[in-house]
Copies of this chain bind each other. A is one copy, B any other.
Amino acid sequence: MSGFNKVVDSYADAMHGLQDGMTVIAGGFGLCGNAENLIVEIKRLGVKDLTVVSNNCGVTDFGLGILLESKQIKKMISSYVGENQTFMDQLLADELEVDLTPQGTLAEKMRAGGAGIPGFYTATGVGTEVSKGKEVRQFNGRDYILEEAITGDFAIVKAWKGDHYGNLVYRQTAQNFNPMAATAGKITVAEVEELVEPGELDPNFIHTPGIYVDRVIQGEFEKRIEFRTVTEEA
């Protein structure tokens, strides 16, 4: 079997090596584009004191929210956690640390982590609580703050299609944070809806080249919808 065959057959293999105290970077926005079953596996493993980097933290009984319920998360680095009551409760009870990070800064910090850029300047957050303790520097007469890269021991991402090389493509807005998360993990695990033969994905349009991906597993997804908004049929 080639060193480029990254397909694993079990969730235990997919998350093998995850330990207490590690940092996990997770793709997904709201409940969209979540590595649903990898999260369930983390719960099954029961590892504790995790730092989880993800734009949101799921809802009480789905997505990353289930790891809050089991108190496996020590710290969240997120931009928005408003949809999760457990989160709010643990935060107010001091059982959980949270580092609120602007969404675009969070995305860029993950990208920077994967790209070997240790820090970058952004105007986002200048003059707000986000800028506290951060270097402020002027470029062309405007203030910017220094933000540092984020990397993780593991990254878990969810893709639409993937091949055994780890090449991935995402579907619609389920792309979101997944491509950056994929680059920022020491071990990156991708859960895909469909495992395809090498060559099936058009090489011009690969979102995540296989070099970033260590393990691939095909999953079954619930794809829960958070806010079902419709236009009435005429």
Q: What residues make up the interface of A, taking CB atoms closer than 8 Å to B? A: 108, 112, 115-123, 137, 139-140, 142, 144, 148-149, 169-172, 175, 202-205
State the CA gap A202–B137 with chains docked (Å): 41
Contact B148–A119 (Cβ < 8 Å):
no
In the bound complex, residues from chain B placing their C-beta under 8 Å from that of A115 are 108
Known: A169-B204, A170-B204, A205-B205. Contact between A139 and B118, CB under 8 A? yes
Contact A144–B118 (Cβ < 8 Å):
yes
State the CA gap A142–B204 with chains docked (Å): 35
Contact among B116, B169, B205 for A123, CB-based, below 8 A: B116
Contact B121–A118 (Cβ < 8 Å):
yes
In the bound complex, residues from chain B placing their C-beta under 8 Å from that of A204 are 169-172, 175, 205
14 A-B pairs whose Cβ atoms sit less than 8 Å apart in the complex: A112-B120, A117-B121, A117-B122, A118-B140, A118-B142, A118-B144, A119-B121, A119-B137, A120-B120, A120-B121, A170-B204, A171-B204, A202-B205, A205-B205
> Across the two chains, which residue of chain B brings its CB closest to A170?
B204
State the CA gap A122–B112 with chains docked (Å): 10
Q: A139-B148, A169-B204 are in contact. List 5 more A-B contacts (CB 8 A).
A: A108-B117, A116-B123, A118-B121, A119-B120, A119-B144
CB A186 to nearest CB in B, in angstroms, measures 14
**A118, A142, A170 interface centre (most CB from chain B within 10 Å):** A118
CB A88 to nearest CB in B, in angstroms, measures 32
State the CA gap A53–B137 with chains docked (Å): 26
In the bound complex, residues from chain B placing their C-beta under 8 Å from that of A121 are 117-120
In the bound complex, residues from chain B placing their C-beta under 8 Å from that of A148 are 139
State the CA gap A118–B146 with chains docked (Å): 10
In the bound complex, residues from chain B placing their C-beta under 8 Å from that of A202 are 205
